[in-house]
Amino acid sequence: MKALTKPLHKVYDYFTLVAQAFAGIFKRPFYFAEVLRQMENIGVQSLPIVLLTSTFVGMILAYQSGFAMAVFGAKMYIGTLVSLSLVRELGPVLASVVVAGRIGAGTAAELGSMLVTEQIDAMRAMATDPIKKLVSTRLLAGMIMIPALVMVANLMGILGGGFIAYSAFGLAPTFYQKTVIEALVVEDLVMTLVKGLFFGTLIITLGCYSGLNVEGGTTGVGHATTRAVVLSIVFILITDYFLTVLLLKLLPGLAF
């Protein structure tokens, strides 16, 4: 019985933390300086790795799809395939997975170290709400910056695909641009932003939850860091499936 109730308690504690974090965004005091610091940490400092990975993913996608479609004389549709694949799926998922590896681990390690060294207890003693100060600020910053990173990833992936389409398959850049623009609709941008918003929320809240529930001293901090990254990636993929199914039903413009 205990083996069943313990996971349920953890799920309850997690959603309680999420609710408190969202409520803390709208309550005074507003820690604007901390939000800006977290926006820099989550967004600006994650930008190089997102740019690198998304560009090469777009290049690989264009190269693989170009050879496959050239067999059927359809290499002119490289731009369509690359843009739809990136904007709807690969851009949000890969950018979020990359950010999860950096931000999820860092958040869990930082908060876990604060818990072990009793800094969080000291904040409570000084009448400071640690959930609002540590979690709500990160959550707000993540909800702003991770969708922005997803959009950057989409753009760089499409540009990388365009480079391969021109250099390897001889497609004119203007033609590639035309096929990309014709393939995408407003609903595609809505889908990519919604996914980025959900994935950002998962990354931040799971990282904070893992850090704030460290057990076993400094050794537990390492376990919490690993757990935060693994859980973030797993739930990003699970959530991606359900969001895709739901958005395809709610946004008719996504139908081919």
Residue 200 lies in a domain: yes
Going by C-alpha positions, the residue among 20, 218, 221 that lies closest to residue 107 is: 221
The tens-digit pLDDT sequence of the chain (256 residues) is 566 677 888 889 999 999 999 999 998 888 899 999 999 999 999 999 999 999 999 999 999 988 888 777 778 888 999 999 999 999 999 999 999 999 999 999 999 988 888 888 888 888 888 899 999 999 999 999 999 999 999 999 999 999 999 988 888 899 999 999 998 999 999 999 999 999 999 999 999 999 998 887 778 888 889 999 999 999 999 999 999 999 988 887 666 5
Residue 65 lies in a domain: yes
Residue 13 lies in a domain: no
The 3-state secondary structure of 150-208 reads HHHHHHHHHHHHHHHHHHCCCCCHHHHHHHHHHHCCHHHHHHHHHHHHHHHHHHHHHHH
The CA-CA-CA angle for residues 60, 65, 67, to 5°, reads 100
The whole domain housing 229 covers 31-247
Residue 228 lies in a domain: yes
Instruction: Provide the number of structural domains found in the chain.
Output: 1
Residue 161 lies in a domain: yes
Residue 10 lies in a domain: no
Residue 8 lies in a domain: no
Going by C-alpha positions, the residue among 108, 133, 106 that lies closest to residue 122 is: 133
Residue 6 lies in a domain: no
